[in-house]
Each structure stands twice: as structure tokens, then as C-alpha cells.
A and B are shown apart, each in its own frame.
Chain A
């Protein structure tokens, strides 16, 4: 049993620590003489205020998905600190700006979409310096946001919100009457800001997961297109942990070509999925503009390097002739497909490789034309299928080659996933697409003629 005065957990430790702060304050008051009663009241109310902040946390944890959470937290903070306004600005990492996200007594800040650059003004300074700031004088020289001084706020106090060791935002309070905020007020506000930061981080992580999963579902075709003479089956398995950046796409062009895309974007979570979505739609646009796969990937590369200069991806883009008797393939750092002819061992299709998307401007791009004998099965995949820590890549490719057999794509998918993955958890995403062409005319005597030279597919 704990004794009644011993701290019971982190919250109690904070109270004890702040109690010490208050006791120092009490001592100073004693020196002034005659106002002992006031000091005693402050001590009691501080502990009550701390308990009030603690109670916000408990409410917050049970309502993490509630968008009103921050507003409630700010209302309570305003009450506890006896201020007129309270607001939270969250750091948008892509723009480096603080965005007004929630407010109490200062709702217009959120409604007007206030944005404060990092390092500038009151909130920007707090975020950049990781330090609390107290303002006794609020005007255009100290505060960037005109709403604050136009509203008549006389004194302000703000603290950084920190989660995972980095600043995620700023929480500030303001008073319409001139007021000297104390060190004790700063401690209380920091406590509320820490709670808010933890809650926001948790909400953001949850929202990210939901968004990524929704995005992923929208990016991987729910149904493969029905194309006469082509049978298809596919698998997509997200890696353990965060969702990665693998995708595949299958579509037809107006002239009847069938197009296959496999891609792997470096990066995971929401940023990875967003880049993947942009690449997928950009590639589709370029596919409509030019029949040359090398041209499509060159345009995609140029677009990515201009608009997403930090993105890196491997892409395979294959265009099948409407007769499905040959495909024109361009590889941007991606693994070549495995091709299996009826009754024959499979092989890695001999396709010229090319540089990944996002590395170097004007990377040379080559197209390899591969003949597709009737009944041949093509296996397109991402690196997660063949790469495993602790194993040689070539061993993975060889295992895949051995297991791919010209048969129904659905069965082929099941057999490959069983042989390559089995029941082991996989760290990386896996995307797999099988396509069998003209199975009704399958000819077990066909041979895969290797391309005489790596020809460049021309419009002519």
C-alpha cells in the first residue's frame, strides 16, 4: 500500500514538481508579508488546476477520434489559466507553416485559415526556438497575425507542442486585460500542450492509416479489365507494419493495346501512397499521348523530377499489341517479368534495364520487344516477392523462375505466393500480376525468340 502522500504515477510526479515551484512562490510572497492567505489559495488552486488538466487527458484518450477534442482541451485550458483565448496551430511539415487548427475564444483564427511561417511572429518563434514565449505587448511588431491584435489581446503566452522529439505545433493563450504570465502559468500551459501533442499525434497516425488504406484500395484496380484473349489474376499484400508504395495497373488504349504497369515507390505511409497515386495517373495520361513505352516513362521521369524531386521509384511499363502476340516493355529500374511457355521452364524475359525514376534528368530509356507465343504466361512482380534479408537476390529470382508455370493465372498466383511467401511475415509490400495470352491457341512447341538486338520502339 502506498502512503497517502506518496506520488502515484507520472501525473502525481508532475504535481509534486509543480508543487515545489509553487512553494518557492509561496516563500517569496511570505517575504512581502501580509498576504499569506493568497499564497495558500494559489497552492490549492494549482493542484486543482493540474488535476483539471489531467482530467482532460483522460477524456481525450477515450475520444481520440473526436474532431472536437482539441477545442474541448482549449476550452478547459482557457478556464484553468483564466485567459480569454486559447488556440492550437499545427505544423504542416510539407509547407513548414503553422496552421491554426483549433481555437477557443478565437474561432476566427481557424475559420480564416491563419498560416504562420516557421520562425516568424509569435507562434513561429515558439516553434522554431522550441521555447515558451510570453508577450506583454501585442501589436504588429510582436505578432504576425492581425486577428490577435485587432481583437484587443493585451498579453499572450505560448509554448511548443512536442511529440516524438520534434515540434508538431504551438499552443497559445491570450488575455484581453494586461497580465503578467508567470513561470507557473507556463508550466501549466506546457502540460496542456504536451497532452494535446500526444493526442494529435495519435489522431494523425490513425487518420494516416485510414487514408493510406483507402488510397491503396483506390489505386489497385478492383477488377482487372476484361480483354478477349488475355486472362489475368493479381495479388497485393501490404508489408508488415506500414503500408508501402507498390502498385500495379492494367488498362487498354483506344487503339486496342493492353497496358501493364508495375511500380514501387520508395517511402511508405501516406506520403508514399500519395506519390504512388500521382505517378499512376500521370502514367495513364502519358500512355494516351504516345504509344512508345520509353517515351511514356521519360515523360513520367521528367514530371516526377520537376514536381516531386525527392521521389524515387521503379516502374515497369509494358504495351501489348492488340493481337497479344508481342509486348513492348520499358524498365525503369524494375525487375524484368518472368515468362513461361507451355510445357517449358520459365525464364526471366531478356529486357534491357534502365534507370529508376527520379534519379537523373534525361536518363536514356530503351524499349525491348518480346514475342509472346500463344499460351505463354507472364509474371510481373515487385521486389518484395523476391528480395529477403539474409538471402541472395539471385536465389529469390531463381526460386520464382522455377515456380512459374504456364497455367491459369489464378492458379499461378496461388502457387507463386505459396512458394515465395508461404506463412512467413513479409516486411515489404508484394504486388503480383499474372497474365496468360491466347491460351486457346497454346502451342507447346513454341520457342521464345530472344530479341536480336535491343531495339528502340519507334512510331513508324
Chain B
């Protein structure tokens, strides 16, 4: 069963949301809530860790795109961490690979965020 709830962990002062193995219509709403909360969390950027994610349908993409818009409207960004082929494949087909900044490790993603790079406090 996919996780029912999504935890937002603070890493070096940056919210990091771990996405579940499968994102579809049954849990995309909850993911969206977690993402929008992260986007609302201060003016900064945040990271969605899709490392475990093997399946993401249109409702999952909707949650990611909505949160990215929210973050960018506040001067931040939504950065992705991906692993394996499944997510990069769906991002290539949907063209989202052209708009999302995607990294292969959390460290790499965090290095792009000034607050994290300057060593913010872990809370």
C-alpha cells in the first residue's frame, strides 16, 4: 500500500518531501497537501525526493506542477531528486524534464539552494 501521509523533513533548513513508490489518484491529493505546505513554508525552495517513486500518473504530476508554481511565485523553486528510469521517462514524455530542475542525489539538490548550502540549522 502506498503511504497514506507524506512527511516533510527539514534538512539543513530546507523542507524535503519523500514521495511514495506510487503516486496516483488515490494519494495525489495528500501529496499535494504536503507539497503546498512545504511551498508555504517560508519564501524558500524545497525538495521532493522521488527516489523511491516508480509510478506517477497525471494526478501526481499535477501535484508537482502546482507546488512548483506556488514555490516560484514566492521566489523559490521546487527541486527534484530522481533515481532509476521510471520518473525521468514520464518527465521526458510530458516535457516536464524541460522545466523541473532534477538531481540524482539529495546533496546535489540541496547544494543548489542557498539557505542549505550556507549550512542552515536543522530543525
Contacts and interface: CB of A to CB of B under 8 A. Distances in A.
Contacts of A242: 25
Interface in A238-275: 239, 241-242, 244-245, 264-268
Nearest to A264: B58
A389 B55 contact: yes
Nearest to A311: B62
Interface in B45-79: 54-55, 57-59, 61-62, 65-66, 69
Contact of B55 (A241, A265, A312, A390): A390
A427 B62 contact: no
Given A312-B65, A390-B54, A393-B89, A356 B95 contact: yes
A333 interface: yes
Interface string A376-403: 0000000100011110111000000000
Given A241-B25, A356-B95, A359-B96, A428 B57 contact: yes
Nearest to A312: B62
Given A242-B25, A310-B66, A389-B22, A355 B96 contact: yes
Interface string A147-185: 000000000000000000000000000000000000000
A333 B94 contact: yes
Contact of A267 (B24, B59, B86, B90): B59
A335 interface: yes
B121 interface: no
Contact of A394 (B22, B59, B89): B89
Interface in A342-397: 353-356, 358-360, 363, 383, 387-390, 392-394
Given A314-B94, A355-B95, A389 B24 contact: yes
B99 A360 contact: yes
Contacts of A359: 65, 95-96, 99
Interface in A400-430: 427-428
B26 interface: yes
A306 to B, nearest CB: 14
A123 interface: no
A219 interface: no
Interface in B82-101: 85-86, 89-90, 92-96, 98-99
B30 to A, nearest CB: 13
A310 B61 CA distance: 12
Secondary structure type dominating chain A contacts: loop
Interface residues of B, number: 25
Contacts of A390: 22, 54-55
B65 A427 contact: no
A457 B49 CA distance: 39
Given A312-B65, A392-B86, A427-B25, A387 B95 contact: no
Nearest to B84: A392
Contacts of A394: 85, 89
A355 B85 contact: no
Contacts of B94: 314, 333, 353, 355-356
A353 B95 contact: yes
B25 A387 contact: no
Given A312-B62, A358-B65, 15 more contacts: A245-B58, A266-B61, A268-B25, A268-B59, A312-B61, A312-B66, A333-B95, A353-B92, A355-B98, A356-B94, A363-B98, A389-B54, A393-B86, A428-B24, A428-B57
Interface of B: 22, 24-26, 54-55, 57-59, 61-62, 65-66, 69, 85-86, 89-90, 92-96, 98-99
24 contacts: A241-B26, A242-B25, A244-B25, A265-B58, A266-B59, A267-B62, A268-B59, A310-B66, A312-B61, A333-B96, A334-B93, A335-B93, A353-B92, A353-B93, A355-B94, A356-B94, A356-B96, A358-B65, A389-B24, A390-B55, A393-B89, A394-B85, A427-B26, A428-B25
